[in-house]
Amino acid sequence: MRHPLQSESSKIGPRGRLPGSATPSAPPSVDTATLELLSIWQQEDATTDPAQLKAAEEELAVFMQAVNEARAASGEPLVYP
């Protein structure tokens, strides 16, 4: 049986980098680009409007209930007790 990952492994260099890609001197301990993007999204979504806050809370409650129902149906423990 042929294993596709074995045949492809020769195309990928050490640590899974593609040939020709930049080699970082040391991996960053904090992904600042992601943190900055999350901060921007948080600022864009920020609101004090009671109607929007209530709608968001209701949407979250529906989501949590759906996740719990799916897990209960499959015999898994609930995520949101």
pLDDT per residue as tens digits for the range 26-36? 666 788 999 99
Q: How far apart, in whole angstroms, are the C-alpha atoms of residue 39 and residue 35? A: 6
39 domain residue, yes or no: no
What is the model's pLDDT at position 8? Answer: 47
60 domain residue, yes or no: yes
Owning domain of residue 76: 48-81
Per-residue pLDDT band at 74 (split at 50, 70, 90): very high
32 domain residue, yes or no: no
Of residues 81 and 27, more confidently modeled: 81
- Number of separate domains in the chain: 1
What is the model's pLDDT at position 26? Answer: 60
Q: Are 68 and 78 in contact (CB under 8 A)?
A: yes
38 domain residue, yes or no: no
What is the model's pLDDT at position 81? Answer: 86
